[in-house]
Structure 1
Amino acid sequence: MAKKSDKDYLKEKGFLSQRQDDYFSMRLHTAGGNVSSDYLRAVADAADSYGEGYAHITSRQGIEIPFVHLDNTEDASNNMNSSGIGPGASGKKIRAVVACQGNRVCKRGLIDCQDICEKIDEEYFAEPVPYKFKIAVTGCPASCLKVQENDFGIMGFVEPVFVGENCIMCRLCENACEMSAIKIENETLHLDMNKCVACGRCVEACRKDAMQIKDQGYTIFVGGKVGKRPRMGDELLRTGNEETVFDILEKTLDFYRVNALDGERLGDVIDRCGMGHFREKVE
């Protein structure tokens, strides 16, 4: 690998400096936490050959191989590339997308998180941005992937509607609701949409079609981050159209690139420019 002494160049290739001189942690590209058995075998072989026989699973579903010596970075990089595994992203780039298994696997999943993740990864992974940009996709309002802590978060939702003539007051929906948004009193069902988080559990529980789907799709959150100055993401909108999700993502990235100052995350830009201005540009 050319420019072996250039740590910025090595960082572009996925090698992150360790506290030990001349040692690097090799970050590998993943998307949505899904990796094949061939991928895992290649990682295991590389960890044995170039590291210390182990890999580190990062907080963002990534994989890193620590203790790769400077002299081995070129061979390690070539080895990964030959296995079809590229470097992970760091620095001022769009980071790897994180996602839960969604409705492909999880019984509570409301959207196909892995499909959305794969599309975003193909289009945007490692694209340059003013500082860093993190994207998460989660299948339901349980938010296992903490979409509110990312610059751009996508969450599945199902909004219910009560059809009274079908109801037999069996209380299945009331028991299924973890938010106490459904109460049955005096043979009357009350659905409090201010408490409802649109998880769809009541619709799933109902056996008489009294709880039906009014709307379903994707909730978009923007501006979240953790770190030294954490900020919870703002709920931007709900949409039933996947194309709208990608349109909003593209416009959000455009807004970020045009308006960000040095070192600002998207949430910082929104706070400085105003949520109203941001909505005007992206909606």
Structure 2
Amino acid sequence: MNKDINIDKLRANCFRQSKVAGEFMFQMRVPGGLTQAKHLSLVQHIAETYGNGTFHFGARQSFHMPGIKFENIDKVNLLVKNYIHEIEIEQCNVDIDVNDCGYPTLGARNIAGCIGADHCVKANAKVSKLASKIENIIFPSNYHIKTNIAGCPNDCIKAHMADFGILGVTIPNYNYDRCVGCGACARACQGHVTSALKEVNGKIIRNEELCIGCGECIVACPTRAFTRSPEPFYRVLIGGRTSKRSPRLGQIFLDYITEEVLLDVIGNWKDFSADTLNGIPKYLHGGHLMDMAGYPKFKELMLKNITLNEEARVATRLNWQEKEYKAHINVKKVSK
């Protein structure tokens, strides 16, 4: 066994070190968490032929195959060549040289997403389709970023805990002529959203300041008096993270932006990262770069050359609320 294994190089190749010497876990990207079932046969083949026979659905929705010996890594890279081409080139149109060496970087983490409007009645956006477009922008890159996409503000994918959390939102269209005054929409909003709807003399009034664009009124309405806007809008949360020391929820950076604006903003991420790190990539995730730069600088660089749609809103300032764990916690030790 070669004891001089370059762990950092292998990590960049999407092989993560194991507790067992000379063994690694391979990570396959699945942008948006949705892919063809046929690819499971490849996962099975790698896991049973070169791994320990198991695979893990990674926390970021990528396929993880543990137990791969160092001497078999080149063989695994050859096996995934066609998969990388189909996902990254054909599906996401990524500018990448697909060769026998596997993934070029761990870099931007796999984009996690809920099932979205391809299935969920509550979703305002097609998550998988959007994930493919964002994959085209952020991958490959040596600047780290975690992106989660939820089809609605219910946030099943925990977008609030990512560097960039994206929520599909809508501006409800109200057709009074179709309204029968049943109040189902208002009850739904009052029951588990923000009480943005009220019935006044048989007409539903929507408080635009309270409305969060979730679309619950649309789902609840039996006569389709409420319908979604023709195109989805998006809410962008930034700086969320898990952490051993200071986990925090992301804060709203942009609200009610169009897909075109969203993709243009994401397109500025690499330049922002390069500016913050003086052009030298480090293993630091997006939330830490935002802290280093400060919100005013972050906002300036991320919105550079961006033309916002008229519905868009931008946060003037952000106040992070972190849960900080102290080195010594005052907890009474239970004696046996």
**Which category describes the TM-score, using the shorter chain as reference length?**
0.7 to 0.9
Structure 2 residue 169 is the aligned partner of structure 1 residue 149: no
Q: Counterpart of 1:6?
A: 6
Q: Which amino acid aligns with 1:222?
A: I
1:7 touches 1:17 (CA, 8 Å); kept in 2? yes
Distance (whole Å) between structure 2 residues aligned to residue 57 and residue 183 of structure 1: 43
C-alpha distance in 2, partners of 1:246/1:43? 31
CA contact (8 A) 1:151 1:224 kept: yes
Distance 1:183 1:12 in 2: 54
Match of 1:238 among 241, 255, 268: 255
**How far off its partner does 1:133 sit?**
0.7
Match runs of 1:189-200 below 5 Å: 189=204, 191-200=206-215
- SS of the equivalent of 2:171 reads strand
Does 2:276 correspond to 1:259?
yes
Displacement of 1:257 = 2.2
Shift, 1:241, TM fit: 2.4
Q: Which runs of 5+ in 2 are unaligned?
A: 86-101, 304-336
Contact 1:98 1:137 (C-alpha < 8 Å) held by counterparts: yes
Asked if 2 retains the 8 angstrom alpha-carbon contact of 1:24 and 1:70, the reply is: yes
* 1:166 positional shift: 6.0
8 Å contact 2:232–2:259 — kept in the other structure?
no
SS state at 1:144 partner: coil
Aligned to 1:66: 66
The corresponding residue for 1:55 is 55
Q: 1:278 to 1:202 in 2, by over 3 A?
A: same
Q: Report the structure, 1 or 2, having the larger strand content.
A: 1
Measure how far apart 1:244 and its partner are. Answer: 0.6
SS in 2 for 1:159: coil
Partner SS, residue 256 of structure 1: helix
In 2, Cα distance between the equivalents of 1:274 and 1:7?
A: 32
Deviation at 1:88, TM superposition (A): 8.6
For residues 277 and 79 of structure 1, do their structure 2 counterparts lie closer, same or farther at Cα, with a shift above 3 Å needed? closer
In 2, the alpha carbon distance for the partners of 1:88 and 1:27 equals 12
Change (3 A) 1:34 1:163: closer
Q: Distance in 1 between matches of 2:260 and 2:271?
A: 17
Which residue number corresponds to residue 220 of structure 2? 205
Deviation per CA, 1:189-218, whole angstroms, max 9, x where unpaired?
A: 554445432111213433556545578411
| RMSD over aligned Cα atoms | 2.9
Partner of 2:90: none
**How far did residue 14 of structure 1 move?**
1.9
- Return closer, same or farther for 1:231/1:164 CA change in 2, 3 Å cut-off: same
1:160 aligned to which of 152, 169, 172: 172
Fraction of identical pairs, as percent: 25
Q: Which amino acid aligns with 1:153?
A: G
Cα distance in 2 for residues equivalent to 1:211 and 1:81: 47
Instruction: Tell me the residue number matched to 1:222.
Output: 238
Task: Give the letter aligned to residue 174 of structure 1.
Answer: A
Q: 1:113 and 1:172, CA in 2 relative to 1: closer, same or farther beyond 3 A?
A: same
| Counterpart code for 1:62 | S
1:23 match:
23
Task: Name the CA shift for 1:58/1:69 in 2 (closer, same or farther; >3 Å).
Answer: same
Structure 1 distance, partners of 2:288, 2:72, is 39
- Provide structure 1 residue ranges, at least 5 long, that are not aligned to the other structure: none
Amino acid at match of 2:168: G
1:118 partner amino acid = S
Note if contact 2:105-2:141 (Cα within 8 Å) is conserved in structure 1: no
Distance 1:18 1:256 in 2: 30
Residue identity opposite 2:187 in structure 1: N
Q: Which amino acid aligns with 1:196?
A: C
Whole-angstrom CA distance in 2 between matches of 1:33 and 1:203: 26
Once residues 239 and 190 of structure 1 are traced to their aligned partners in structure 2, the CA distance between those partners, rounded to angstroms, is 20
**Partner residue, 1:79:** 79
CA-CA distance at 1:265 after TM superposition = 3.5
CA–CA distance in structure 1, aligned partners of residues 9 and 292 of structure 2: 33
Change (3 A) 1:165 1:34: closer
CA contact (8 A) 1:29 1:87 kept: no
**Residues 148 and 221 in structure 1, CA contact (< 8 A), matched pair in contact too:** yes
Contact in 1 for aligned 2:146/2:285 (Cα 8 Å): no
1:66 Cα deviation from its structure 2 partner: 0.7
| Aligned with residue 274 of structure 1, among 288, 294, 297 | 294
Q: Deviations over 1:160-205 (max 9, x none)?
A: 3666676442111123322151344786755444543211121343
Letter in 1 for 2:216: R
Q: 1:212 to 1:44 in 2, by over 3 A?
A: closer
1:120-135 to 2 correspondences below 5 Å:
120-129=134-143, 132-135=144-147
